[in-house]
A and B are shown apart, each in its own frame.
Chain A
Amino acid sequence: MAAEVRFDRVTCAFGPVKAVDDVSFEIAEGEFFSLLGPSGSGKTTCLRMIAGFQYPTAGHVYIHGKDDTRLPPFERDVNTVFQDYALFPHMTVADNVAYGLMVRGVAKAERRRRAEEMLELVRLGGYGDRRPVQLSGGQRQRVALARALINHPRVLLLDEPLGALDLKLREEMQTELKQLQRQVGITFVFVTHDQTEALSMSDRLAVFNQGRIEQIGTPAEVYDRPQTAFVAEFVGTSNILRGPVTKRLFGVEGPVSIRPEKIVLRPDNEPAAGPDTGALATIAEVTFLGAATRYRVALAGDEATHLMVTAPNVLTAGQALPSGTRVRLSWGPETWQVLA
């Protein structure tokens, strides 16, 4: 498959600070690709370099196979949904949506028709004559989407577009965005710091940290096979074990990551699942989470090492084991991951 966007050893420095440091990746045509990372990790700078608001200080950016490294934004076949929407306050919703058509010199009646069509697509039919200030956050969000999609760009860039919405609306928009992407078949590049958002929406994602990419892969790959401690901790939560304890429990050198929900916890008096697949521990803390119970356990013979274990509340909440119980921990062979 052809790469829609390709970064070839791209660096972007602001003075002595390298916001993006020697980054290379490819985004395939029609893909929903997320750039995930904490603030200041370089994900937004990467997005701005695809849009053309920022030029790299080294390296090349290819869009649809063409070297667009230093092409101004208005020459690129790429449109952006901005974090705070950036709707033009002095124009009606319809004029906002039709802005891209106006720029291209499309006749007024045609503009009006296609803007209304676009508004229908984002379920805002009939809102064309309002002003952006008269809309709610979620509605503005959709206007920004319609405006960015009206020129049928090759790539749609979304800069934390759901950040300003409340939780319920955000979940709704996640589903809607995903549907919309399938409907229009455009490559989406989605910047977010929210790992659940990235996991649930993306075909693939890149995890950014300090200007570099830590890992690229499908959500399942990134979650189940984190390559670095940063990824293991930033995407979901994880137990990271270091030092001699990994040799004893997993038979390997080097740090190991194991997710809390992959550890099976039984009272010590029950028979073990099998030889050498576990460890003894004592429950130090019990937290009721509703759907699950989270235990903090101290390893027997290594009391300073604590592990988090989450167990689904299959029966009732009353089944939770009390603090101080001796337990046996076990895990399957594929559930843990050696980190770089």
Chain B
Amino acid sequence: MTARSQPHPLGQAEPQVRPARTRSLSRRLSGWLYGRRGLFLLILLLPPLLWLGVVYVGSLFALLLNSFFAIDPFSGMVVPEFTLATWAELFTLANFDIIVRTVTMAAVVTVAAALIGFPLAYYMARYAGPRMKAVLYLGVMLPLWSSYLVRLYAWKLILAKEGILSWAAGATGTTWLLDGILGLPVIGGPSLSVSYLGMFLVFLYIWLPFMILPIQAALERVPKNLLDASSDLGARPGLTFRKVILPLAFPGVVAGSIFTFSLTLGDYIIPGVIGASRLFIGQAVYMHQGTAGNIPLAAAFSVVPIVIMAIYLTAAKRLGAFDAL
């Protein structure tokens, strides 16, 4: 105790001076680490670095490496020698068709998701009250809480020839409309569940939340007074939307499109269950690495979405999508 003639004003016991010896181990460790930022960061980042660096990047590299091998056409064994033969095979007409088909579907799904998602995200960010916003969040996220496969097979029932949609068309006397749509070339088919249109609808449904949430977050960050400033300077709401809201929300649209685009590019289950039983990239990878045993070609196919995403992001950056970040 330190000597003091006055009693403590609050009448409490004076705090004991802690002797250095009783400092606990964790306390000393904290003190020791405090001055060693580099070591601290190393300890902090070691697990994620190991995971990302070795498991993730490492396996990607192995994939890339494999695509430069080829299989021996007689033995079916992978020959570990550098060759571009697998890549040449990728660009044969049949395989190239698969790539074009997948990329087209991914692009159409992305554009449609943006067109449908933006207004809802805009409403959520600008107009909805706290209660309405919670309901809409729940509405958008709820499908993500149930199994992807359950939702997929539910859609198969909705879209099937004897399914809910054709029943509803019959009940409302709009069978002619459904038939008309199914009669369209390329996107039509015998029924929605075996057409590109049906596959498009399911993709759109499954990935839409991934578009809405980033756009909503981006719109949420646009300060209200920027809109006031724009209209103060004479801009009608339409112009304010084009010149202020859209450019500032664009990073959100790009973020959403990265999800919808890459998820559609890589999916192999939906095209297997719904659609015109034409191959998509994911299915090709699945087939070549499984039944066909052509690991190099599967690897080459796997590299395609990565390359496409790289091109896509570069283009988005060129367009200034990330300027407002």
Q: Give me the interface of A with B, judged by CB distance under 8 Å.
A: 51-53, 72-74, 78-80, 82-84, 86-90, 99-100, 102-104, 147-148, 151
Contact = CB atoms under 8 A, between A and B. Distances in A.
A53 B236 CA distance: 13
Contact of B323 (A79, A90, A99): A90
B303 interface: no
B230 interface: yes
Contacts of A73: 228, 231-232
A74 B236 CA distance: 6
A190 B230 CA distance: 20
Nearest 3 A/B pairs, CB to CB: A86-B229, A86-B225, A100-B233
A102 B243 CA distance: 10
27 contacts: A51-B228, A51-B232, A52-B232, A53-B232, A72-B231, A74-B232, A74-B233, A74-B234, A74-B235, A74-B236, A79-B232, A82-B229, A86-B225, A86-B228, A86-B229, A87-B229, A88-B226, A88-B244, A89-B324, A90-B247, A90-B248, A100-B233, A102-B243, A103-B235, A103-B239, A148-B233, A151-B234
Interface string B294-309: 0000000000000000
A121 B225 CA distance: 25
Nearest to A89: B324
Contacts of B243: 88, 99, 102
B228 A103 contact: no
A74 B244 CA distance: 15
B173 interface: no
Contacts of B229: 80, 82, 86-88, 147
Interface of B: 223, 225-226, 228-236, 239, 243-244, 247-248, 323-324
Contacts of B235: 74, 99, 103
Contacts of B230: 88, 99
Nearest to B226: A86
Contacts of A51: 228, 232
A103 B233 contact: yes
B256 to A, nearest CB: 18
A160 to B, nearest CB: 13
Given A88-B244, A90-B323, A103-B239, A82 B234 contact: no
A82 B225 contact: yes
A230 to B, nearest CB: 30
Contacts of A84: 225
A151 B229 CA distance: 13
Nearest to A100: B233
Contact of A86 (B223, B247, B323): B223
